[in-house]
Amino acid sequence: MQATRNIKSDDLFKLKSVADPQLAANGKDLIYVETLISEEKNDYVSNLFYINVTEKSKAVQWTFGEHRNHSPRWSPNGQQIAFVSNRSGKNQIYVLNNNGGEAQPITNCVNGASNPVWSPDGTKLAFNVSLGKEEDLYSKEEKKDEKNKKLTPLEVDKMKYKSDAVGFYNGKFKQVAIVDLVSGEMELLTEGESDYHLQSWSPDGRHLAVTADLSEDLDFSFLNDLYLLDVQTKQLQKITNGTGYFGNATWSPNGKYIGLIGHEREFANATLSKIWVFDVEENELKCLTSDSELLVGDFAIGDFQQGTVSPGLLWSEDNNSFYFLATDHGNTVVYYGALSGELYPALLDQQHVYGLTTGGNVNTAVVAVSKPTLPGELFLLDVPTGDLQQLTFTNEAFTKEVKLAGVEEIEFKSKDDWDLHGWLMKPANYQEGEKYPLILEIHGGPHAMYANTYFHEFQTLAAQGYAVLFINPRGSHGYGQKFVDAVRGDYGGRDYADLMEAVDYVLENFDFIDESRLGVTGGSYGGFMTNWIVGHTNRFKAAVTQRSISNWISFYGVSDIGYYFNEWQIKAELEDIETLWKHSPLKYVNEVETPLLILHSEKDYRCPIEQAEQLYIALKHRKKETKFVRFPESNHELSRSGKPNLRIDRLNYIANWFNEYIK
């Protein structure tokens, strides 16, 4: 089937995200989550699908309806699936037998339930629940008359009182509870004014691994420690020593070891995550990758996948070896590790592995893979040979219908002799001998990584006739500790130079790019950098800044990370106004000559909208060419998981602005 048309922004409604694969211990039964976007509901719909991987059977849908069904987890004997669904109006945990029948609700908590974890004998489930001071597991929800709802003030006595993910602090804390599947009785295991994050259940059934920050002053603490929670006594045993941030705790099958992913914050939030193992019998914690530059986990940036899950260390039956995801030089890959410190790649290719499951097997894994022209599918990996066999073909019909632009990898030396890496995407209808405009895309973070993955925004721009350049400037993950740390204290310095030198490189090496028709865009840190660029060069004909930062002085205190992010990243506190202002794009507003479109979400608490308001008014006050677009009821994640119609509006605003000023 020949591709018949270019991709459009509203093709989001035709694409489906395939994520969170879970392979049963028998190595053959696979459950996963498929998410689509309902145009009618203007919302996301997720359901569970099953595949027998040994037979390579066709996927069979196991849940139905227009709800969000997700987080499937196999029971130890492989006969049941626990999952989370909002079919009742709130997220609750359900159990479904693998031989069919209706899913049965297991929880009915006032604020919902999440994160199901099976007990080793399969008779209980542990889960997370959010509770306020006067609430318990059996609290009944009061019916609210929204029309006559009485407004009340929000009392604030802490600095961490809002979050871009959940909004304003509501007096609730995340607790751990268990439910008996036979009797239906629920029991709360933690309490107090701290959040407890459930990780896993010990093979002997005696302990739950949980993480929490139990510091007295949480406003000044940025830790996450591992604790063992005794299921009977509810006592906590602290495993890590309050020096860093740890999570993804998984037990070896014999219960002797606990694998962790974390770091000790040596470089604040720019520190590479490493592999740690706690020896339960010896009461000893050891870092297995202390001398490695490998970044453990998936830190790739994308705008399509829904419900991806970090698997942590996946132990094998031998209690000695394990598999994990790692971020490396523009790819995420599967690695094999062992207690001896042995590390080597089990799947190393030009791709983004955003899901991994083994069921505890040594030689077999299922991976979720995306590439620039592959939105995302599941593959069966034969570990010894590295062979991949495709299991799902969810987006095959779509990818045959539309023209997707491929990428060419680029590598070059910066002027100060650093290795830089990125990609150039040709226009979808590229023809030899033609000249095309170029859009420079800049990722957020800044500690993230562009990767060999599907990016809907890039594809829609390529379909409009643009070449798209995206690179990982210093500050990006995937290239070692020195590289990722280099941006701290130097925003607008060598990171800016890296991006400009990337533009110079492609202009020198690709003759199809029209140097007189250049555009630039980016979000979050990429929005900051877009603002910085237009205040320092006029080489771009148009720019679009998204969810950006323009003023580090006013950023202090208004962001959910603002009171510490300045210190970590700009290396300046509020008293150092001179340094904060030096790194603020707003300082250079008089130099802006590039037409600038400003896109921002009303409820962005990460980069609050006042940052966009200041920039817009400053530009208009100086008679600069600009437009300001505010997206209602949206937060910092608009481009990735916001309301679908607004995501499409955003893509159209970007393309239309460039079409007006560049084409």
Which residue among 9, 75, 273, 524 is the active-site one?
A: 524
**Quick check: is 632 in a domain?**
yes
Angle at 30 between CA 25 and CA 257, to 5 degrees: 35
The confidence score (pLDDT) of residue 142 equals: 66
Report the b/e string of 247-267 with b at 16+ CB within 10 A.
Answer: bbbbbbeebbbbbbbbbbeeb
Pairing, β 225-230 against β 352-357: unpaired
| Helix residue ranges, H only, 369-487 | 396-401, 456-463, 481-485
Counting the structural domains of the chain, the total is 1
Q: For residue 172, is pLDDT > 60? A: yes
Q: For residue 604, is pLDDT > 90? A: yes
The confidence score (pLDDT) of residue 149 equals: 79
- The average confidence (pLDDT) of the chain is 96
The confidence score (pLDDT) of residue 145 equals: 63
Residues 611 and 548 sit within 8 Å (Cβ to Cβ) = yes
**Quick check: is 514 in a domain?**
yes
Structural domain range at position 584? 405-548+575-661
Mean pLDDT of 203-216: 97
The DSSP string of 488-500 is TT-TTTHHHHHHH
H or E, element range at 525: helix 525-534
Which residue among 130, 559, 636, 639 is the active-site one?
A: 636
Q: 611 versus 170: which is more confidently predicted?
A: 611
**Quick check: is 465 in a domain?**
yes
Residues 644 and 636 sit within 8 Å (Cβ to Cβ) = no
Report phi then psi at 459, rounded to 5. Answer: -65, -40
**Quick check: is 603 in a domain?**
yes
The confidence score (pLDDT) of residue 1 equals: 55
Residues 508 and 412 sit within 8 Å (Cβ to Cβ) = no
For the segment 324-379, what is each residue's pLDDT rounded down to a tens digit? 999 999 999 999 999 999 999 999 899 999 999 999 998 999 999 999 999 999 99
Residues 263 and 271 sit within 8 Å (Cβ to Cβ) = yes
71 is annotated as an active-site residue: no
Confidence class for position 2, pLDDT limits 50, 70, 90: low
The confidence score (pLDDT) of residue 57 equals: 82
Distances in Å between the Cα of 18 and the Cα atoms of 35, 66, 394, 456 are 7, 16, 8, 15
H or E, element range at 504: helix 494-509
The confidence score (pLDDT) of residue 150 equals: 86
Q: For residue 25, is pLDDT > 60? A: yes
Residues 74 and 29 sit within 8 Å (Cβ to Cβ) = yes
Q: Which residues contact 206 (CB under 8 A, 6 or more apart)?
A: 230, 231, 232
Distance CA 317, CA 304 (A): 34
Mean pLDDT of 456-483: 98
Distance CA 642, CA 635 (A): 8
Q: For residue 403, is pLDDT > 60? A: yes
**Quick check: is 74 in a domain?**
no
In CATH, what number is assigned to the domain containing residue 476? Answer: 3.40.50.1820
Confidence class for position 603, pLDDT limits 50, 70, 90: very high
The confidence score (pLDDT) of residue 384 equals: 87
The confidence score (pLDDT) of residue 99 equals: 86
Helical packing angle, 525-534 and 494-509, nearest 10°: 70
The confidence score (pLDDT) of residue 653 equals: 98
**Quick check: is 201 in a domain?**
no
The confidence score (pLDDT) of residue 252 equals: 98
**Quick check: is 498 in a domain?**
yes
Confidence class for position 146, pLDDT limits 50, 70, 90: low
Distance CA 482, CA 157 (A): 38
Q: What percent of the chain has pLDDT over 70?
A: 99
* Tokens encoding 232: 């009977």
For the segment 533-556, what is each residue's pLDDT rounded down to a tens digit? 999 999 999 999 999 999 999 999
Q: For residue 147, is pLDDT > 80? A: no
Categorise residue 16: left if φ over 0, alpha if ψ from -120 to 50, beta otherwise: beta
Residue found under tokens 């020896």: 279
Angle at 327 between CA 490 and CA 306, to 5 degrees: 100
**Quick check: is 607 in a domain?**
yes
Confidence class for position 144, pLDDT limits 50, 70, 90: low
For the segment 175-193, what is each residue's pLDDT rounded down to a tens digit? 999 999 999 999 999 999 9
Mean pLDDT of 513-528: 98
Tell me the Cα Rg of the chain: 25
524 is annotated as an active-site residue: yes
Q: Which of 223, 309, 372 is nearest to 35 (CA)?
A: 309
The confidence score (pLDDT) of residue 230 equals: 98
Mean pLDDT of 580-604: 98
Q: What percent of the chain has pLDDT over 90?
A: 94
Q: For residue 560, is pLDDT > 60? A: yes
